[in-house]
Structure 1
Amino acid sequence: MRKKLLIILALLFLINSTGCWDLREAEQTGIVIGAGLDRGKDGSIVVIAQTVIPQMPGAGGANVGGGAGGHDTFHNWYSSGETLFDAVRNLTQKSPNTLFWSHNKIFIISEKLARESLKDVIDFIERDPEFKQNAWIVIAKDDLSEIMNAHGNLKEPPAQALANIIMIRDRNSKYAVSTLGEFIQQLGNPEAQAYTAGVTFYKGLMEKKNTASISGQETERSMELRVMDTAVFKQDKLVGWLNQEESRGLLWVQGKVKEGLLVLPMQNHKMIFEILKSSSKLEPLIKDGQLIMKVQVKVDGNIGEITPGTKLDEKHIQEIEAQIAKTVEEQIMTAVSRAQELNTDFLGFASAVHRAFPRLWNQELSQQWSETLKDIEVEVSVEGRVRGTGLITNPVKLK
């Protein structure tokens, strides 16, 4: 018994004395929460690492930069190199602390770099274990540096704000976004094309704090961030953008509309349909030698808002459901038209065809899919169902 106790004590001593192999002291570490990637004028790769500035506990108040106690909440470190790895390592010439990348929440890639090619940056991002696969990857529609500094009146760094916006994306379902892992998988799949969300900044409605109003001059307003539209790729190059309606169409096809609203133009009024859930199914068919893609969508929801005085009877509910089906079908067809226009299969039709007709795909279609996609006939059928009307059935009649 005494011998066993001595062995246990010896093991505990060894564990405590050696410590964790990858332990980093907090005061010697810069926590990276966002990374921007761009192409320099000289052809180099530019990296912007956004790190958190620790705040004093209990500090009150906020400045125009959004920090507590009059301090900024983040710092952007700029570097460049011949490759991404080279640029990241060159950050050690500027940052006094070792940068820790495992908490990085988002990669923001400039549109310029994305349109040229991502092959110069994607290998290192995929290869290095410190970059987490669940980080978001988005495309900057405006100047990358401006976006990474556009904190406005927020009390958090821009990278954190963008990550938080994306986390509630299902509330609107107006853009399609990918994690790093999903994006890399899309790039490596010969039967699919990559897509992810765009990021921009704009002058918000709120004025900046501590700015004096001068007669005859516009009061300075905060630059605010917005996640919008969807960037679509062909192989590793960005080839175009989807607007909100086209993005919703993409999400319908892939069964990724979880929530959101449909504004329905009825005969004499407008109605808001609140989406609660949806599902989709792709069914390729061959009819008279023509490849047909059937897209079947089901969507359930509630009536969220309606013009006062409108009577909701069974006939009107049926009309609403028919309008839901029409609106969803139109959104899907806008995405289909855009895919055929850009000749890039971000909708995932190729994968469905391969599963349904593996021999035909391997022998013929895989070699000529770009041409087939342009002419493929798409049939859309939508089943819209009104599940509830909220706390009331018929709206109040205003005097």
Structure 2
Amino acid sequence: MKQFLVLVVLLLLTSCMGQRQINELALVTAVGLDVGEAPGSVKLSVQIIRPADARGQTGAPAGGTGEPIYSVSSEGRTIFEAIRNLGRFTSRRVYWAHNFLIVMNEKYAKRGISDMVDFFTRNHELRMNTWVAVTPDEPGELISTITGLAVVPGEAVDRLFRDNDVVGQAPGTNMMILEESFLSSSTNPVIAKLTLVPRGISNKKPEQHGSLMQVELAGAAAFKGDSMVGWLNVKETRGLLFLLERLKSGIEVVPCLDNKGYMSVEFDEADLQVKPTLKDDRPFFHIRLNSKADIVENGCSESVTVLRKEMEEHLKQQMKAKIEDVIGKAQKQYRSDFLKFGDVFRNHYPMEWKQLSSNWDETFSEAGTSIEVHTTIKTAVVKAARKGIR
């Protein structure tokens, strides 16, 4: 028995060899990237968790500072140099395995993100399911803003992304998806948009609605190559999600016939198909969307029985317009295929793809499209949404 206990102790001691203690590491939960003051430099902001002060939702443990995070920034000619320069301010080695988020300022994104993709995909500590976003705000401020019920901002944004399918207003972009589109010859990246908005209500000033800034996940940043070319608004992003993530369900608000109220419908079983063809040696894409919907709230004065056909037509036109808007933005304004039409065309026409792939963005911008949407309101009875009210 004694020999067995000695063996167990030796195994435990061996398993700890070469491991760093948690109190020797700076556990990063969010990172921000921006252009630095020096030309071509990088400003890096990191959110570091304080384990002792992040244990509870309210108050600080004995001996704690009360702040669940510690945020610090540094600059360098490269991302790696900026990280090394953090050693001037932090007493612990930066550790990336618990990072939830990488958020870039739009100026940085427009300059090009190839250095970011290269560094973080080479970093063996970083998880490839780390969320990636672009913001028009200062990244250091965004990653330090406490949002929702989580005391750690990085964790709060992680939950926004995880519940994103309920709202359906931003793409769920992580490092794996970004690297895939970044290295692809047939598509360009598109990344979620994060912004700071005055939505929170302070307990000390409840009469001042919007006295606290909160992080909002809505919209997207479109890229051409490694450079951001512009934004997609919420309406265009909904159309993007139909095409890019095959969005299956969501809520649409349809105006009443007399324009004096609104009806909320929950669509589900949405099925989108993109079929490519060649017309006069030019790619042509036929998009077909079929969906069914339930009425979950009726604010119209007319009876639901009378409204059904009209509401189906309204819903059809509304969903079609969102797809049209994002295709128009991609083809005419940005001239960038971030909709993965190139993937679809390559799979159906591999030989023709070899001839067109070298200049695909320009070919895509001239491609023809047709959009066909069919919607059916399944019931005329107002009922609660199946996913629950969130």
Normalised TM-score (structure 2)? 0.87
Check whether the contact 1:208–1:222 (CA below 8 A) recurs between aligned residues.
no
Residue 151 of structure 2 is matched in structure 1 by 156
Check whether the contact 2:166–2:250 (CA below 8 A) recurs between aligned residues.
yes
Structure 2 counterpart SS, 1:54: coil
Deviations 1:1-36 (A, max 9, x none): x9xx96x77754542231235533222222211111
Q: Does 1:18 align with 2:8?
A: no
Structure 1 residue 88 displacement after superposition: 1.5
Distance 1:371 1:207, change over 3 A: same
Residue 249 of structure 2 is matched in structure 1 by 259
Runs of 4+ more than 6 Å apart: 57-60
Aligned partner (choices 41, 44, 56) of residue 44 of structure 1: 41
Check whether the contact 2:101–2:131 (CA below 8 A) recurs between aligned residues.
yes
Structure 1 residue 265 displacement after superposition: 2.7
Deviates more, 1:293-302 or 1:16-25: 16-25
Aligned partner (choices 368, 372, 378) of residue 387 of structure 1: 378
Compute the RMSD of aligned alpha carbons: 2.9
Residue 396 of structure 1 is matched in structure 2 by none
Equivalent positions of 1:1-399 (< 5 A) are: 12-21=8-17, 23-42=19-38, 43-55=40-52, 61-62=58-59, 71-151=66-146, 155-204=150-199, 206-207=201-202, 209=204, 221-268=211-258, 270-313=262-305, 316-340=307-331, 341-362=333-354, 364-389=355-380
Structure 1 residue 74 displacement after superposition: 0.6
Structure 1 residue 268 displacement after superposition: 2.8
Distance 1:255 1:294, change over 3 A: farther
CA distance in 2, matches of 1:227, 1:251: 14
Residue 397 of structure 1 is matched in structure 2 by none
User: Who wins on radius of gyration, i.e. which is larger?
Assistant: 1
Which ranges of structure 2 fall in alignment gaps of 5 or more residues? 385-390
CA distance in 2, matches of 1:264, 1:61: 41
Count matched residues: 378
Structure 1 residue 311 displacement after superposition: 1.9
Structure 1 residue 177 displacement after superposition: 3.0
Structure 1 residue 308 displacement after superposition: 4.8
Structure 1 residue 190 displacement after superposition: 0.8
Distance 1:365 1:145, change over 3 A: same
Check whether the contact 2:296–2:383 (CA below 8 A) recurs between aligned residues.
no
Check whether the contact 1:178–1:197 (CA below 8 A) recurs between aligned residues.
yes
Which ranges of structure 1 fall in alignment gaps of 5 or more residues? 394-399
Distance 1:152 1:282, change over 3 A: closer
CA distance in 1, matches of 2:272, 2:209: 48
Structure 1 residue 58 displacement after superposition: 8.2
Structure 2 counterpart SS, 1:249: helix
CA distance in 1, matches of 2:16, 2:269: 46
Structure 1 residue 121 displacement after superposition: 2.2
Distance 1:305 1:294, change over 3 A: same
Normalised TM-score (structure 1)? 0.85
Structure 2 counterpart SS, 1:86: helix
Structure 1 residue 139 displacement after superposition: 0.6
The sequence identity of aligned pairs, in percent, is: 24
Deviations 1:325-367 (A, max 9, x none): 22111110000000011001011111111111111111x2213
Residue 388 of structure 2 is matched in structure 1 by none
Check whether the contact 1:172–1:259 (CA below 8 A) recurs between aligned residues.
no
Structure 2 counterpart SS, 1:368: helix
Deviates more, 1:287-296 or 1:124-133: 287-296
Structure 1 counterpart SS, 2:304: coil
Deviates more, 1:82-91 or 1:126-135: 82-91
CA distance in 2, matches of 1:332, 1:132: 33
